[in-house]
Amino acid sequence: MPLWQALRSAKAPRTIAQLQAACQVDYGSVHVALKRWQARGAVVRHPGKPLRFGLAPTARTDTPPDGRSEEDHIRMRLRTARQRIWTAMRVLKTFDAPTLRMSADATEKAVSIYLYQLQQGGYVRVVERGSSKTGRLSVYRLQRNSGPNCPTIRRPRGSSHTQLVDNNTGKTVDISPGVALLRKTKTEASADGGVS
């Protein structure tokens, strides 16, 4: 976590403003984290004005005191963004990418990747193709609303396959490029009256 790294690298106790500037995190997040870490004995508040904070002498410095590594925090932030995107999709039902970004307060990249993964798994489909020539945006529809928990992505250790896991039903779909393409081709053939 950037805030923890800022505390670790500080040679002297730092104010909240200094910590904010060092890690580009909003005041509320810094305040909540410092309060939590202080309660766990990992951070010490130094008296005076303005208040300054530093690591306690007994603090483990490799990971934050909640036991999560930087990688765990990144995964959690990604999951939180996906949950917001999924919730927005369930409310909107039909949407374009910019509307989804604004509704979910997510980045363009996060929305783009998650939309692609959900399309590969059959949860989202394009109902109107966009055009760069006319500036028209693609319109999507959520076609498999399985419940409130967002589907997540898993890559089993030692496997080159990517799986979409539905956290509402427990169902797993292989969305690896080759497998997803084969599944799509079979579905289209069946819809056209072909034998699959």
Neighbours of 35 (CB within 10 A): 11
Separation CA 88–CA 94 (nearest Å): 10
Nearest CA to 2 among 102, 73, 94, 65?
73
pLDDT, tens only, 3-42: 888 888 888 898 888 888 888 777 777 888 888 888 888 8
pLDDT, tens only, 68-122: 555 555 555 666 889 999 999 999 999 999 999 998 888 999 999 999 999 999 9
pTM for this model (two decimals): 0.55
CA dihedral 88, 143, 160, 189 (to 10 degrees): -160
